[in-house]
Structure 1
Amino acid sequence: MLVETGAVSVEPDLAGLTGWYLYLWGPWFIVGGLAFAGATALYVRRNDGRRKLRIHGAVGALGALFLSVISTVTGIG
């Protein structure tokens, strides 16, 4: 997003890839992270007695989502 708005510049031969990543790859990667978070939530609900599992699953899912959003915003990836 930063490259597309002109806030950050990249080499000219990479400029063509930023739009492809921003509009095609990035959103699907974020959707995948959300699907992973949802699957984790469903699995943890079935195993209510495992508090440690719930914490680790939430941290992993939120970490993956955070990395997905950051890579989309910065154009890295």
Structure 2
Amino acid sequence: PSKKTKEPISRVQAYRIMKEAGEALGMENVGTHSLRKSFGYHFYQKNKDIAMLQDIFNHSSERVTKIYIGIAQDEIDRAMDDFFI
């Protein structure tokens, strides 16, 4: 809620707060979408429940969700680490 009105802050205000916090930490390109993706990544790492995460994000498939949070590439990289011909 807003400190002034006690109403929910706007999407734009949330972005401004995130951007300012990121800059204070020396980070670039931080926004509310960064939080959404980070939440998804850490939720998956903790729970390993991609189906629930798919529902939370309202994605059409588990594959879309894995790509969105970067898990698909992580899985490919791990599979290739031990692959020798």
TM-score range normalised by the length of the shorter chain: under 0.3
Using structure 1 for the length normalisation, give the TM-score.
Answer: 0.27
Using structure 2 for the length normalisation, give the TM-score.
Answer: 0.25
Q: Which has the higher contact order (CA 8 A, sep 6+)?
A: 1
| Larger radius of gyration between Structure 1 and Structure 2 | 2
